[in-house]
Amino acid sequence: MQQHVIASSSTNARLRARDLTAEEIAEIEHELTLYPTKQAVGLEALKIVQRHQGWVSDESMLAIADYLSVPVSELEGVATFFNLIFRRPVGDKVILFCDSVSCWIMGCDKVKKRLSEHLGIDYGETSAGGEYTLIPVPCLGDCDKAPVMMVGEKMHRNLSCESIDSLLPLSNAEGSK
Amino acid sequence: MTDRPLTKNIDLSRGALSLKEYVAAGGYAGARAIANGLEPSDVLERVKNSGLKGRGGAGFPTGLKWSFVPKSDDVSIQRYLVVNADEMEPGTFKDRMLMEGDPHLLIEGMIIAAYTIQATRAFIFLRGEYFDAERSIAKAIAEARDSGYLGRDIFGTGFDFDIVLHTSAGRYICGEETALLNALEGKRANPRAKPPFPQVSGLWGKPTIVNNVETLCNLPGILAYGVEWYQSLGSGGDFGTKLFGVSGRVNTPGCWELPFGVSIREVIEGYGGGMQEGYALKAFLPGGGSTDFLTPEHLDTPLTYTAIGELGSRLATGTMILLDDKTCPVGMIGNLMKFFAHESCGFCTPCRDGLPWVDTIFRDLESGKGSFKDIDVLKDHVGYLGPGRTFCALAPGATAPLGSGLRLFADEFAAHVSGAKCPYH
C-alpha cells in the first residue's frame, strides 16, 4: 500500500493517514463491489467518511487515498470540486439555504437575514455551540414551495420570517442529525 | 389508457406505490411486452416512431440518440445506461416529483431503455441533496430485485440487468452528460471533448446512453399503450405529455403533467391560478434558468419545442420562472449569474473568468457602483460566452437570460446606473 504524506504549511508537521474505522472500511468495501474501478469509489468513500466523522480531515483524505490506491492530489481534486464535501469541521447540522432564483423572487433574502440573526452566523460559519453550519445551496428543486431550505436531511418549505421563528426552537429540540 | 402516463400513480399526500401496488395499477406492462417477444430493434423502432424527445433540456430525439450505440451481437461488450437525475437547473422541480412519487415508473423505463441498447448495468446519478428521492428509489430497487424484475434473466428474456444508485455531492455541471460520466468514474466533473460521443465511448470508454429521468418515465406508456395513443396526447409537432411547472408570485405554484401544445396562459393563469393580488406578470423564463425571457405578449403560445424555439427561447425543462412587476429584473438576472459563476467547473477560460466578471458587475449595479460602461461589458459577454465560444453549454446557458434581459430591461439597467441604486428598493 502506498504511504502518502503531505506537509502542512502552517506547522511544517508531516501528516499521516489516520486508520479508517471498521465501519468505514465495510461501507467502502460494499461500494467497491458496485464499480469496476477503485477510483470510481472516491466520492462515495469521501461521503462515507464524512457521514461518520462529520467532515473530511487531511488525515482522513490520506487514509482514503491510501485505501483506494489513488493519488491524494486527485482525490483532493474531487473533494474540493463538490459543494457538499466539507474539508473543514461543520456543525452537528448543516443548513443548506436555497438562494437561487425562485426562492429569491419569493423573498429568501429576508428569511436568510432572520435565520442569520437567530443563529448569530453568516454563510460559511458555524454557530457558537457547534450546532449549525449555514451554507447557501443552488436551487433545491422545490420551487413551487419557495423559499426552502434543508436542515440535515429534512426539507423545510414555504419559509417566512415567522416560520423561522417557530422552527428554530423546534430544530434545537431535535438534537443532532 | 390514460392521459397522464407520467403522474397517474402520483399522490403526494401518500407515499409512492409499492411494487405490488404499482403492478396492480397496470405497472410493468411495458416491461412484460418485452418478455412477450419484442426484440431490442422493435422497441427502438417504436420509440423512434413515438417522437419522444429528451426531457432534460435539449429536446434531442430519444430513439435517434439510442440508435448511435454501435450495433453488435457481441453481448460481451459492456454497455451502460446512465440516468441523469442531477436536477439542479434553477427553477426546475419536476424530476424530484417523479422519483419521490413513482420510482417504479423510472425503474420500468430503465428496463426498457437498457434492454433496447443491451446495457446490462445502469447507474442512477442522483442529486446528493435529494434524500427523499434516494430513499424512495432505493426501496423500489430492492423490491424489484426481490421480485426478479432486476437481476439475472429478467422477465424470462435471458437479459441480465441491474441498477446502481449513485448519489452526488452537489455540482450543477454534473448535469452535463460527459461531466456526469467523469464524476461517475471518480474524477473531477469537467466536461469531456465531443466527439467521441458517449453513445460510442462513454462510461469507462464503453457505449453509454445518458437519459433524463422524465424521458425514461415516458417509455412504459409508449410500450403499454402504443405509439398511436402516445401521439394522440400532444399537438403542435410534439408528442406525449410533459411536466410543466410554475414558480414565482402566482396563487397556486406547482408542477402538472399536461399535453404538449397547451398554451402558456393556460398553465400560468389556469393551473397556476394567475398572479397574486397586487402583482402583475412582467416576464418569464419558460424552461428554467438557462432560457431566454419571454413576455406577457407570448402568453398564447403553445408549449412545444418548436413554438417556444420560434420565439427565440427554449422549452428546455418546461418549468417556468415568473418575474413580477414588484421584483427587480436586474436583481433576478444577477441572481442567476451568481449561480452560473459559482457552478462553472473552471475548465475553460471564457466561463471561468467571464462569469465571475459578469457576477461582479451585477453586484456593483445592485450597490449603486455600476457604470454605463459596465452595461456594455455585460453586452460584450453575451457574445464572449455564447454558443461555440466555450467548452460546454453552461456559459451559453447563462447568456440566455443575460442577453434577453439586457434587451428587454434596458431601462431598468440604466436606472441602476443613473440613480446609483436599485430602483426597486
Q: Is the pLDDT of residue B24 over 80?
A: yes
**What per-residue confidence (pLDDT) applies to A2?**
47
**Structural domain spans, chain B:** 19-231, 241-324, 329-418
Supply the mean pLDDT for chain B: 96
At B340-363, the pLDDT tens digits run 999 999 999 999 999 999 999 999
Q: In the predicted model, what is the mean pLDDT of residues A22-28? A: 98
Q: Is the pLDDT of residue B93 over 50?
A: yes
**pTM (predicted TM-score):** 0.95
Taking an 8 Å cut-off on Cβ atoms, the answer to whether A37 and B186 are in contact is yes
Q: Is the pLDDT of residue B249 over 80?
A: yes
Q: Which residues from chain A sit within 8 angstroms of residue B290, using beta carbons? A: none
**Structural domain spans, chain A:** 8-81, 93-167
Distance from the Cα of A108 to chain B's closest Cα (Å) equals: 12
Residue labelled with grid coordinates 397547451: B262
Q: Which residue has the higher pLDDT, A48 or A4?
A: A48
Nearest to B56 by CA among B69, B65, B45: B65
Distance CA A77, CA B344 (A): 15
Alpha helices per DSSP H over chain A: 22-32, 42-53, 58-68, 72-81, 101-105, 108-119, 161-174
Q: Is the pLDDT of residue B257 over 70?
A: yes
* Contacts with A, B 26-65, CB within 8 Å: none
Q: What is the DSSP letter of B173?
A: G
**What per-residue confidence (pLDDT) applies to A13?**
56
**What per-residue confidence (pLDDT) applies to A5?**
52
Chain A residues near any Cβ of chain B (below 8 Å) = 34-37, 39-44, 46-47, 70, 74, 77-78, 81-85, 96, 99-102, 104-106, 137-146, 150, 153, 155
B327 to chain A, any CB pair closer than 8 A? The answer is yes
CB-CB neighbours of A171 under 10 Å: 16
**What per-residue confidence (pLDDT) applies to A115?**
95
Taking an 8 Å cut-off on Cβ atoms, the answer to whether B88 and A43 are in contact is no
Q: In the predicted model, what is the mean pLDDT of residues B262-275? A: 98
**What per-residue confidence (pLDDT) applies to B144?**
97
SS3 (DSSP) at A160 = coil
**What per-residue confidence (pLDDT) applies to A169?**
62
Taking an 8 Å cut-off on Cβ atoms, the answer to whether B185 and A37 are in contact is yes
Distance CA B2, CA B8 (A): 8
Q: In the predicted model, what is the mean pLDDT of residues B195-213? A: 97
| Sign of the torsion angle spanned by Cα atoms B299, B301, B303, B308 | negative
Q: What is the band of B209 on the pLDDT scale with cuts at 50, 70, 90?
A: very high
Query: Could you report the predicted ipTM of this complex, rounded to two decimals?
Result: 0.96
Q: Is B379:B314 a contact under the CB 8 Å cutoff? A: no
Q: In the predicted model, what is the mean pLDDT of residues A33-45? A: 97
Q: Which residues from chain B sit within 8 angstroms of residue A84, using beta carbons? A: 128-129, 169-170
Nearest to B28 by CA among B119, B111, B114: B111
B19-231 is a CATH 3.40.50.970 domain: no
Distance from the Cα of A155 to chain B's closest Cα (Å) equals: 9
Count contacts between A and B (CB, < 8 Å): 132
SS3 letters for B250-303?
Answer: ECCCEEEEEECCCEHHHHHHHHCCCECCCCCEEEEEECECCCCCECHHHCCCEC
Q: Which residues from chain A sit within 8 angstroms of residue B254, using beta carbons? A: 144
Taking an 8 Å cut-off on Cβ atoms, the answer to whether B186 and A40 are in contact is yes
| H helix or E strand, kind and range, residue B219 | helix B219-225
Q: Is the pLDDT of residue A3 over 70?
A: no
Q: Is A135:B129 a contact under the CB 8 Å cutoff? A: no
Distance CA A102, CA B319 (A): 11
**What per-residue confidence (pLDDT) applies to A176?**
39
Q: Is the pLDDT of residue B250 over 80?
A: yes
CATH number of B329-418: 1.20.1440.230
Instruction: For B167, name the nearest residue in chain A, comparing CA atoms only.
Output: A44
Q: What percent of chain B has pLDDT over 90?
A: 92
Q: What is the band of B72 on the pLDDT scale with cuts at 50, 70, 90?
A: confident
Distance CA B92, CA B320 (A): 8
Q: Measured between CB atoms, which of A37, A96, A104 is closest to B335? A: A104
Instruction: For A68, name the nearest residue in chain B, comparing CA atoms only.
Output: B186
Which residue of B125, B181, B247 is the best one to mutate when testing the A interface, meaning the one whose CB has the most A CBs within 10 A?
B247
At A109-158, the pLDDT tens digits run 999 999 999 999 999 999 999 999 999 999 999 999 999 999 999 999 99
Q: Is the pLDDT of residue A24 over 60?
A: yes
SS3 (DSSP) at B31 = helix
Q: Is B43:B30 a contact under the CB 8 Å cutoff? A: no
**What per-residue confidence (pLDDT) applies to B58?**
87
CATH number of B241-324: 3.10.20.600
Q: Is the pLDDT of residue A78 over 50?
A: yes
Taking an 8 Å cut-off on Cβ atoms, the answer to whether B95 and A141 are in contact is yes
The b/e string for B405-415 (b: 16+ C-beta within 10 A; e otherwise) is bbebbeebbeb
Ranges assigned E (strand) in B54-153: 80-85, 121-126
Q: Is the pLDDT of residue A9 over 70?
A: no
Taking an 8 Å cut-off on Cβ atoms, the answer to whether A139 and B170 are in contact is no
Q: In the predicted model, what is the mean pLDDT of residues B180-197? A: 96
Alpha helices per DSSP H over A33-124: 42-53, 58-68, 72-81, 101-105, 108-119
Taking an 8 Å cut-off on Cβ atoms, the answer to whether A144 and B130 are in contact is no
Burial of B315 (0-12, 13-18, 19+ CB in 10 A): buried
Which residue of B77, B93, B100, B424 is the best one to mutate when testing the A interface, meaning the one whose CB has the most A CBs within 10 A?
B93
Burial of B139 (0-12, 13-18, 19+ CB in 10 A): middle
**What per-residue confidence (pLDDT) applies to A175?**
41
CA distances from B242 to A126, B6, B7, B251 (A): 42, 8, 10, 22
CATH topology of domain A93-167: Glutaredoxin (3.40.30)
Q: Is the pLDDT of residue A177 over 50?
A: no
Q: Is the pLDDT of residue A7 over 70?
A: no
